[in-house]
Amino acid sequence: MKRARIIYNPTSGRELFKKHLPDVLIQLEQAGYETSCHATTGAGDATKAARAAVERQFDLVIAAGGDGTIHEVVNGIASQEYRPKLGIIPVGTTNDFARAIAVPRTIEGACEVITTGEAVPIDIGCVMNEGKTRYFINIAGGGRLTELTYEVPSKLKTMLGQLAYYLKGIEMLPSIKATEARIEYDGKVYEGEIMLFLVSLTNSVGGFEKLAPDSSLNDGMFDLIILKKTNLAEFIRIVTLASRGEHINDPNLIYTKANRIKVTAPNNMQLNLDGEYGGLLPGEFVNLYRHLEVFVPKEKAEQMRAGF
């Protein structure tokens, strides 16, 4: 029998996962997995639990939580030589990664993807900053706006879900200022004031499903977005365009693919990794080609093979 380890965050989203755990265990048992569980206790615990699952050579690690939990689990696995397959049960607030790999946002549906879907290799982002190596699965970014994701209190997210981010975004608008940065990408350089930069692995970021419309999960390339300095009115106009995927040809924006990206910023720019604080820049980003096998629905696996 194959062995699976569920790492779940009991505080994720609307805090519903634990109630469904017996059903999940039955579904996995029927699919041939002997399964055990770990409930996370706080920040960083999912990384430790994932590392322990690697050491114990589990075949499958299931991250049940929001993007923060998935991020932590990936950070426990990605640096290791033996990497168990990854399953996702999205019970968080935004669940960007689940949306990007077409995993349904019901517990039963997500479990079915693990039991009847296909494990496909996908790219993982790696960043070296502050003398550490960290990994991300969805997006890295810098600039004042990207800091709002970890300024939204957990209680507010439990109560309001996605709306909490929008409220925080509106509250922050007047304080969004441009910052100096130098961004080197595959031999090219942009230097100047920017509102934000994003290094994306998927097309689904912060609830914006068309932010990086050309992104592919397994082409070994990041989608790099640099938003140059704008005034507030321009900024709001571009965000509105971005919600419809119509921003990429805007002259205030650079949108390109790159495999290696180096960012330096003189003013202590913070790095956001999958919605979590990821230390200070400078940093260097490398795309790890097809580094981790993740369960996706069969149709999605076929699409990916066809190059979508």
Ligand X SMILES: Nc1ncnc2c1ncn2[C@@H]1O[C@H](COP(=O)(O)OP(=O)(O)OP(=O)(O)O)[C@@H](O)[C@H]1O
CA proximity to 177, closest of 248, 250, 227: 227
Separation of alpha carbons 118 and 294, rounded Å: 8
10 binds ligand X (CB under 6 A): yes
* CB of residue 250 to ligand X, shortest distance in Å: 28
Q: Which two tokens stand for residue 33?
A: 């997995």
104 binds ligand X (CB under 6 A): no
Give Cβ neighbours of residue 118 (< 8 Å, ≥ 6 apart).
295, 296, 297, 298, 301
146 binds ligand X (CB under 6 A): no
200 binds ligand X (CB under 6 A): no
CA proximity to 39, closest of 68, 60, 76, 10: 10
Separation of alpha carbons 292 and 81, rounded Å: 11
Which residue from 22, 30, 42, 233 is in contact with ligand X, where contact means CB under 6 A?
A: 42
Query: What is the CA angle 30-32-37, rounded to 5?
Result: 90
Which residue from 7, 53, 67, 127 is in contact with ligand X, where contact means CB under 6 A?
A: 67
Residue nearest to ligand X (CB): 66
Which residue from 58, 66, 223, 296 is in contact with ligand X, where contact means CB under 6 A?
A: 66
- Candidates 37-45, 116-124, 171-179, 238-246; binding stretch for ligand X (CB under 6 A): 37-45
287 binds ligand X (CB under 6 A): no
* CB of residue 151 to ligand X, shortest distance in Å: 12
- Of the candidates 276, 284, 293, 302, the residue annotated as catalytic is 276
Q: How many CA atoms lie within 13 A of 29 on its CB side?
A: 7
Separation of alpha carbons 195 and 49, rounded Å: 36
- Candidates 87-95, 167-175, 225-233, 259-267; binding stretch for ligand X (CB under 6 A): 87-95
Which residue from 27, 35, 47, 95 is in contact with ligand X, where contact means CB under 6 A?
A: 95
275 binds ligand X (CB under 6 A): yes
Backbone Cα Rg of the chain: 19
**Residue 81 annotated as catalytic:** no
Buried b (16+ CB within 10 A) or exposed e, 266-283: eeebbbbbbbbebeebbb
Q: Which of residues 93 and 204 has its CB atom nearest to ligand X in the complex?
A: 93
The H or E element spanning position 85 is: strand 85-90
Which residue from 69, 146, 179, 215 is in contact with ligand X, where contact means CB under 6 A?
A: 69
167 binds ligand X (CB under 6 A): no
**Long-range contacts from 174-177, C-beta under 8 angstroms, 24+ separation:** 174/232, 175/144, 176/144, 176/145, 176/232, 176/235, 177/144
223 binds ligand X (CB under 6 A): no
Which residue from 92, 141, 143, 206 is in contact with ligand X, where contact means CB under 6 A?
A: 92
- Candidates 8-16, 24-32, 209-217, 258-266; binding stretch for ligand X (CB under 6 A): 8-16
Q: Which of residues 96 and 219 has its CB atom nearest to ligand X in the complex?
A: 96
Whether 174 contacts 167, CB under 8 Å: no
157 binds ligand X (CB under 6 A): yes
Tell which positions 13-32 bind ligand X, by CB under 6 A: 13
The H or E element spanning position 40 is: none
Separation of alpha carbons 103 and 163, rounded Å: 22
* CB of residue 112 to ligand X, shortest distance in Å: 21
Q: Which residues are catalytic?
A: 276
State the residues that interact with ligand X by CB under 6 A. 9-13, 40-43, 45, 65-69, 72, 92-95, 154, 157, 275-276
